[in-house]
Amino acid sequence: MKMLNKAIALLIVFCFPLLASAQDAEMADTMRSNGKIYVVVAIALVILIGLIGYLIFIDKKVSGLEKRIAKKD
């Protein structure tokens, strides 16, 4: 069974690039020609930066709570 799973995984890994390159990227070409791709990239970056900032904020809060709990013990 493990051998079958490995064979399927290898098949997927090697066939995926062929399947992905077979598709046309009309939407990306259209957005690039209109200059809208930069808006999409900017929005994606803002969302990514926001998520990273939120994770850092939550990490600092959790670290503070861990320190307060350690002091009480």
Q: Could you read off the pLDDT of 11-67 as tens digits, one per residue?
A: 777 776 666 655 566 777 787 788 888 898 999 999 999 999 999 999 999 999 999
Model pTM score: 0.56
Q: Which two tokens stand for residue 18?
A: 């062929």
CB contact at 8 A, 48 and 40: no
In sequence order, which residues have a C-beta less than 8 Å from that of residue 37 and are 6 or more positions away? 28, 31
